Amino acid sequence: MTRAFIDFVNAHQDEDTARLLLSAARYPDIDMPSAVQQIEGLQTAREKWPSLLQCEQFLYPPRLNREQASSEETARYKAGSLEQPPGSVADLTGGMGIDSIAFAQTDAQVDYVERNETLCALMEHNCDALGLKNIGVHCGDSMEWLAATDRHFDLLFIDPARRSASGRKVAAFEDCEPNILQHMELLRSRCRRLMVKASPMIDIDLACRQLGDVAEVHIVSVKGECKEVLFVCGGHDGETLLHCIIYERQDGFHHYGFTRREEAAAEARHCTAVGRYLYEPDAALMKGGPFNLICQWMNLEKLAPNSHLYTSDRLADDFPGRTFLVQQEVALNRKSLKTAIPDGKAHVVTRNYPVAAADLQRQLGLKEGGDLFVIATTMGTRRTGFLCQKVHKE
């Protein structure tokens, strides 16, 4: 991180990195692969870790590690779950270190464990660059490190790698590395609480049964996409609490908590006709599944038991998800939609419909784009479609 290297990166941070690599001969004094890695890291940080842009000395890891790292928002959420005073935390799958940094910024004493020597060296450098003196960096296998220590932590955090040896994405705990189901006795013996980050594709109820003693499940979405599912084990003295957490940049985190028993006891109201507005729940709610409770929370009616779309005549302006203004009900065939959508442009959404959205769009001869949405679903027992416009929140 010489001054010349930093100046080069800053001067070229908006450029095409592939072209920079090809022009490396023009800059013989610059380690171009390292500069490109840093530039790509800065470009990612603008959206994913904006606060790191304030640290000129921060070094970014290779692309795969950046892709696997938590976003700033989700890391901050995890750190915000620490009890006060925050005590001791061990991050057993350190990676880029975003979660460890967030934990440390609460004044917790953090141990970062990572078996990749390059990532450990970067983490040591970045801790100095950020002025974080409360992170200890340990290079090695996390389960071996944990077995060798006699320390007891307030929180153990682990995010098992969710790729097979062939690079295929996996979701089940038993397919991840490490397979935490084989290490649960060790993990529980070394902490008061255990937090496990899982794939957004995880089967939540199966995972709770596999882990046992799950006190809370946190399902976190950012910009309408489910980013993390977190299982918190320890101190379980009743039903598992599910927390659907929706992050919106303009006003932070929104929380919707429930238990499976509360959802089973809630009565869903079903419509006989669609109202003026249609509502599609946020990804965190779709993953968590409080589908009957949404009717009570928002005073809405469902289109059908399995459609997970809602309707009302009066606007529910605080609905957690997308809201659509219904223009008309439409038959889902080319002739009807050619009349309803003269320019042939619309976004297609399917819920409880036997054809995937991309396939239906091709069948209907529609091009992606425009301001209109065709929502294909089941209302009652009847398959139908609605032509809508999205209602933008202020």
Q: Domain check: are 245 and 329 in the same one?
A: no
Q: Domain check: are 199 and 76 in the same one?
A: yes
| Domain assignment present for 58 | no
| Domain assignment present for 308 | yes
Please give the backbone phi and psi of residue 170, each rounded to the nearest 5 degrees, phi first.
-130, 165
The CATH number covering residue 336 comes to 3.30.2130
Domain of residue 29: give its range: 3-48
Q: Domain check: are 35 and 78 in the same one?
A: no
Spatial distance between the Cα atoms of 72 and 77, rounded to a whole number of angstroms:
9
Give per-residue burial for 243-257: e unless 16+ CB within 10 Å, then b: bbbbbbeeeeeeebe
Q: Domain check: are 331 and 304 in the same one?
A: yes
Cβ count near 145 (within 10 Å): 17
Q: Domain check: are 96 and 155 in the same one?
A: yes
| Domain assignment present for 85 | yes
Nearest partner of 70 among 195, 234, 237, judged by Cα:
195
Spatial distance between the Cα atoms of 332 and 349, rounded to a whole number of angstroms:
12
Q: Domain check: are 14 and 152 in the same one?
A: no
Spatial CB neighbours of 303, under 8 Å, sequence gap ≥ 6: 270, 271, 274, 309, 310, 311, 377, 378, 379, 380
| Domain assignment present for 338 | yes
Q: Domain check: are 41 and 75 in the same one?
A: no
Whether the link from the prior residue into 290 is cis, omega within 30° of 0, is: no
The CATH number covering residue 161 comes to 3.40.50.150
Q: What is the pLDDT of residue 328?
A: 95
User: Which of 258, 290, 324 is the last residue in one of the domains?
Assistant: 258
The residue assigned the tokens 């199966």 is 206
Q: What is the pLDDT of residue 369?
A: 93
Q: Domain check: are 190 and 221 in the same one?
A: yes
Q: Domain check: are 38 and 171 in the same one?
A: no
Report the C-alpha dihedral over residues 278, 260, 79, 89, rounded to 10 degrees: -160
Q: Domain check: are 163 and 239 in the same one?
A: yes
- The two three-digit tokens of residue 390, written as one number: 């999205």
User: Which of 227, 258, 289 is the last residue in one of the domains?
Assistant: 258
Please give the backbone phi and psi of residue 19, each rounded to the nearest 5 degrees, phi first.
-70, -35
| Domain assignment present for 59 | no
User: Which of 234, 258, 282 is the last residue in one of the domains?
Assistant: 258
Task: Output the pTM of the full model.
Answer: 0.93
| Domain assignment present for 54 | no
> What does the H/E/C string look like for the chain?
CCHHHHHHHHHCCCCCHHHHHHCHHHCCCCCHHHHHHHHHHHHHHHHHCHHHHHCCCCCCCCHHHHHHCCCHHHHHHHHHCCCCCCCEEEECCCCCCHHHHHHHCCCCEEEEEECCHHHHHHHHHHHHHHCCCCEEEEECCHHHHHHHCCCCEEEEEECCECECCCCCECCCHHHCECCHHHCHHHHHHCEEEEEEEECCCCCHHHHHHHHCCEEEEEEEEECCEEEEEEEEECCCCCCCEEEEEEEECCCEEEEEEECHHHHHHCCCCECCCCCCEEEEECHHHHHHCCHHHHHHHHCCEECCCCCCCEEECCCCCCCCEEEEEEEEEECCCHHHHHHHCCCCECEEEEECCCCCHHHHHHHHCCECCCCEEEEEEEECCEEEEEEEEEECCC
Spatial distance between the Cα atoms of 30 and 242, rounded to a whole number of angstroms:
51
Q: Domain check: are 178 and 211 in the same one?
A: yes
Question: Which CA distances in Å does 71 have to 74, 324, 349?
Answer: 5, 29, 27
Cβ pair 244, 232 in contact under 8 A: no
Q: What is the pLDDT of residue 83?
A: 85
Q: What is the pLDDT of residue 394?
A: 67
Nearest partner of 326 among 344, 345, 313, judged by Cα:
313
Q: Domain check: are 246 and 164 in the same one?
A: yes
Taking only the tens of pLDDT, the chain with its 394 residues reads 789 999 999 999 999 999 999 999 999 999 999 999 999 999 999 999 999 999 999 999 999 999 999 999 999 999 998 888 889 999 999 999 999 999 999 999 999 999 999 999 999 999 999 999 999 999 999 999 999 999 999 999 999 988 877 778 888 999 999 999 999 999 999 999 999 999 999 999 999 999 989 999 999 999 999 999 999 998 777 899 999 999 987 778 999 999 999 999 999 999 999 999 999 999 999 999 999 999 999 999 999 999 999 999 999 989 999 999 999 999 999 999 999 999 999 999 999 999 999 999 999 999 999 999 999 999 999 999 999 999 987 6
- AA identity, residue 77: Y
| Domain assignment present for 339 | yes
CA 173 to chain CA mean position, Å: 18
| Domain assignment present for 61 | no
Q: What's the structural domain count of the chain?
A: 3
